[in-house]
Structure 1
């Protein structure tokens, strides 16, 4: 059996070999044992190997008085190793889980500083991976959750990489003692009110006493589940291929799926495809909340169903599923005077409006549909707007925020709809750029 602590530097370099062309390696540096060893390893290797530029990042949560001294400790370590340090102070939004709130704040800070082609390195090790698997198993996670922490994933403009997942905490401790490293002991790590601390201090000692290879076996299981999730993702891509075909309303710029491409799949494949599609958009629902998908899918043809999720809503209209979030969930401000139609008009909570071509004479005003509107078309006479929208197949959730251009009480144009957008009245068109529905959660 190999001596793992002896070849730790070469194992680290092997794990990081795909990332050697990055511009910068940023090390998430808490000052604890794990990140101290990672930082020391990289700083030492950089003296003899051509590595990307190193930079350390310390996130200060401000949750404990003792933590106020940690940035100074981290600065001293970085000065000794010749690695620049950036300290980011974050505000933790307290909720049901302090652990999760602190983690969310930390990774939001990581995403904010990780630039294009940068790699952010964090020091989670083998025991962390096993704890993650067991913790998620106890919470009833599915295959994606039980795959535990991936070795790499996208963050900000670059990638987050965990190069020590195959290294045990004991190996890190041996390295630290061998090189005389100093690190911070977080007093909150002794508090068993936190679930991971309870698992670490109460559960794992008993497991490893009875089954010495428990941690290694659990990490192996997580790898098997990760492979299974990759196969499920591939299946989802196949199932979504037809469903991602654009509708006739591509100008909405919204994530959407063709419903008929999904309903012929088995319920399990429907959920798998939707999980894959929703993952970059919102936190996924637990098993109890997937009934919302059944209700949305099975609603009557003329119904207006929606499924509320953590970061938005899934609507069904025009035989498509539409993802709405952000400004799309807020009622836009109506009755806006447009005094300079030669320039784009910013619509509060509703994107941007402009006239392409020579704008009609004013004074002009932008309104939204209230009901009963009539549009005069030169070749068709006065037409009820509701019927015109039905003919155009505009999804129902768009109709109340589709910009209408008025001159006095005369409705001149409806944005973006060919034949209704002003072209019939002159050499101009009313163009609307809707608000983005992209939350950027990937």
Structure 2
């Protein structure tokens, strides 16, 4: 006997029954209306987490101005609290993608720790997603289509209806006499998904009636394959995740040598896994830049520019620098009270321990030709000291230098790489960390 919609929903939400709250993404369309009604009905007989709904108003068409009131009316009838969020959709090449990004950004802002956002995507959506991505040349991760669950902000995104067809949702809606919004833009064939839905899938299903089910099943197989690739990546990254020589430099990094021992395909798989939370990943045509970075001479210090930052190589180590890393000012700063730490715009914090030298003190950045006094070694060229230390080049321009007038008094101790201060004080630099916006 075929399980009911209620039985499927209960089974697919079982792992999340102890969450502090369930938030329903409620557009007012067929899918989310059925999901909301199902959950409202279940809450009368089952012990569920507190339910609430979120409606995102994109402001892209005049008809949408009436939708918040419709959604409010539905939620009032079901006794479910509703929050309406208005967003600005950024212009771009793909209006669909821009609207989706704005929508999920709004969801991320309201999902609390451990809470679950439930969305109404179904099996037909999954099949459309697979075919759409296949036509764009996606890899295994993209062809796995929409995951049934994934992290979202401090909580989770769960799609409990992925094994339900659009036809089942329509039958439930008619049986319970539900009313829903028909978005006029869903009929516009200029949007790729609409074209697939209205022109491609009818032809496919006329010839292959099980096309939607088969494509959705293929997405499940590819999702399993991606899981195995992720496990392999974690194994390969374990060898490369060696302690960095500069533990005070809080940037993601990997040792290059263990990666070099892998085949090209495993290198790409490991790097995709490592880079996924850091940046949008490049398409296959851009991986030649990885080979150029990997194979460059040791002193070349190459970099690979990606969508949200740069992958640098320094010696035999890879370093990830987010785009925000370059957002700092190298202007001079006065330090009127060295007894208190000095905030360096976009560059962390500087503090001085011990008895401060006489002022006025100024912080400047490297221009070249600096000479510093090193106890036991005399006056040394700063560039040579930095070369000896192996400090990555992308850090050197951010190194704060302490001046008294035109005299260079000292350089941060850099976690003991060298002791640069001949007196009874020490300069400590705490670079900006990922928690301060570098990730």
Same-fold call, TM > 0.5? yes
Call closer, same or farther: CA 1:24–1:96 in 2, change over 3 Å.
same
Indicate the residue corresponding to 2:380 in structure 1: 383
User: How far, CA to CA, are the matches of 1:103 and 1:432 in structure 2?
Assistant: 38
Structure 1 residue 353, shift from structure 2 partner:
1.6
- 1:99-123 per-residue CA deviation (whole Å, 9 max, x = no partner) reads 0000011111111111101000000
Partner of 2:161: 164
Match of residue 325 from structure 1: 322
Q: 1:36 to 1:358 in 2, by over 3 A?
A: farther
The residue that corresponds to 1:312 in the other structure is: 309
The equivalent of 2:174 in structure 1 is 177
Q: Say yes or no: does 1:262 pair with 2:266.
A: no
1:80-107: CA deviation from partner (whole Å, max 9, x where unpaired): 1000001111100110000000001111
Shift in alpha-carbon separation, 1:262–1:292, aligned structure 2, 3 A: same
**CA separation in 2, counterparts of 1:358 and 1:422?**
15
Cα displacement (A) at 1:432: 2.2
Could you tell me how far 1:388 is from its partner in structure 2?
0.8
Aligned to 2:431: 433
Corresponding residue for residue 235 of structure 1 = 232
- Cα distance in 1 for partners of 2:37, 2:186 equals 23
The one-character-per-residue Cα deviations of 1:47-86 (angstroms, maximum 9, x if unpaired) are 1211000010001100001101101110010001000001
Moved more, 413-422 or 94-103: 413-422
When residues 438 and 339 of structure 1 are mapped into structure 2, their CA distance, relative to the original with a 3 A threshold, is: closer
Q: Does residue 212 in structure 1 map to residue 209 in structure 2?
A: yes
C-alpha spacing 1:430/1:422, structure 2 compared with 1 (3 Å): farther
Q: For 1:58 and 1:225, how far apart are their aligned partners in 2?
A: 32
CA distance in 2, matches of 1:180, 1:231: 44
Give secondary structure in 2 for the equivalent of 1:250. Answer: coil
Equivalent residues in 2 for 1:120-199 (5 A)? 120-199=117-196
CA shift for structure 1 position 295: 1.1
Provide TM-score, normalisation by structure 2. Answer: 0.97
Do the aligned partners of 2:21 and 2:51 also contact (CA within 8 Å) in 1?
yes
Point out the more displaced range, 247-256 or 427-436: 427-436
Report the alpha carbon displacement of residue 271 of structure 1 after superposing the two structures with TM. Answer: 0.4
SS of match in other structure, 1:182: coil
Partner of 1:410: 407
From the superposition, tell whether residues 439 and 149 of structure 1 become closer, same or farther in structure 2 (CA, over 3 Å): farther
Q: Deviations over 1:289-333 (max 9, x none)?
A: 111111111112211211111101111113111111133123533
Q: 1:233 and 1:402 mapped to 2: Cα distance?
A: 37
Q: Does structure 1 retain, via aligned residues, the 8 Å contact 2:253–2:318?
A: yes
Once the two structures are overlaid, the 10-residue window that deviates more, 346-355 or 78-87, is 346-355
Check 1:156–1:421 CA distance in 2 against 1; reply closer, same or farther (3 A cut). farther
> Are 1:294 and 2:276 counterparts?
no
Residue 161 and residue 357 in structure 1: after superposition, are their counterparts in 2 closer, same or farther (change >3 A)? farther
Bigger mean CA offset, 144-153 vs 247-256: 247-256
* 2:272 counterpart residue number: 275
The answer (yes or no) to whether the contact 1:356–1:431 under 8 Å persists in 2 is no
